[in-house]
Amino acid sequence: MSEVQNIQWFPGHMTKTRRLIEADLKMVDAVVEITDARIPQSSRNPILDELVGNKPRIMIMNKCDVADEKATENWKRYYEKRGICVIVCDCRTGKGINKFLPTVKRLLNDLIERRKARGMIGKALRLMVVGIPNVGKSSFINRMANSKKTKVGDRPGVTRGKQWVSIDKDVELLDMPGILWPKFDDKDVAQKLAFTGAVKDEVVDITELARSLGELLLRDYSELVKARYKIAGEGDILTEIAQKRGMLISGGEPDVERAAATLLDEFRGGKIGRITLDDVPNEYEE
């Protein structure tokens, strides 16, 4: 998977985003970090901890409906032990979203009380929303604002510039462009980002990517994969899927490219089952 490992992810664009975040942190009261519940660690930008520092933070573990429930609970506990407030939700269906505003007001209660004591009644809480491309950041903001104020797309990096979105009279969200580190040093992280679509498919070898995903799924979720594709899981997974689904090219050869696209699409759409690819550190597993 060297094709993924060595991607340069729009370094100029991401450097600009980092500067924007550093500048705008001064005018927000807390940071909301959106992650993908299927890859709760791999979908975090490692520079955010450094940038955010001691600013209050809420992590939104999005796409929980397609993530492994037990793993999600373990990851939630893991981050809470590190002082990060966690909300598990699915922005597509709205599941768990109703916990957001009460959590914000509980987290920032001391600030709210200080403002009241100084007579600053009605001053909105301002929150910066950050996340790597394709974790559902704009979907979250749209759901909270109950509108289509932001540009939502399946392709990574649709949100370009920052924008303020008011979600009620007391809370405003600052939507930042998707931020991803400019170079992938960890091959496993790069692969997982590509599996979920955070890396554009055009810059990776789709067949090799899908084969790597298949091997990982057969290792950790073999029953789900075998049940979905009615395969034995003993040979090349793409060949098995192609043969089972009648994906053949001239001469009766299995169409592994079509099988690869199918496997990736069905994983991303949650059709194989509820799957989490990041392993929780051992001490947080039940």
What phi-psi label fits residue 233: left (phi over 0), alpha (psi between -120 and 50 degrees) or beta? left
Mean pLDDT, the chain, rounded, equals 86
Least confident among 35-44, 158-167, 176-185: 176-185
- List beta partners, residue 175: 129, 163
CA pair distance 113, 120, nearest whole angstrom: 10
Least confident among 5-14, 19-28, 69-78, 270-279: 5-14
Q: Which residues contact 275 (CB under 8 A, 6 or more apart)?
A: 38, 66, 67, 68, 217, 220, 221, 224, 267
Q: Residues 194-237: pLDDT tens digits?
A: 999 888 777 789 999 999 999 999 999 999 999 999 999 999 99
Give percent of the chain with pLDDT exceeding 70: 85
Least confident among 19-33, 122-136, 149-163: 149-163
- List beta partners, residue 254: 248
Flag whether pLDDT at 161 surpasses 70. no
CA-angle at 123, arms to 121 and 125, nearest 5° = 130
Structure letter (DSSP) for residue 33? E
Least confident among 118-122, 175-179, 183-187: 183-187
Nearest to 39, CA basis, from 168, 220, 226, 255 = 220
Tell me what pLDDT residue 46 has. Answer: 77
Residue 19 pLDDT class (50, 70, 90 cuts): confident
Which residue's entry shows tokens 């590190």?
82
Least confident among 102-106, 116-120, 242-246, 258-262: 116-120
Count Cβ atoms below 10 Å from residue 280 Cβ, excluding itself.
Answer: 20
Residue 16 pLDDT class (50, 70, 90 cuts): confident
CA pair distance 39, 199, nearest whole angstrom: 13
Residue 140 pLDDT class (50, 70, 90 cuts): very high
Tell me what pLDDT residue 228 has. Answer: 97
- Looking only at Cα atoms, what is the longest distance across the chain? 79
Q: What is the pTM of this model?
A: 0.86
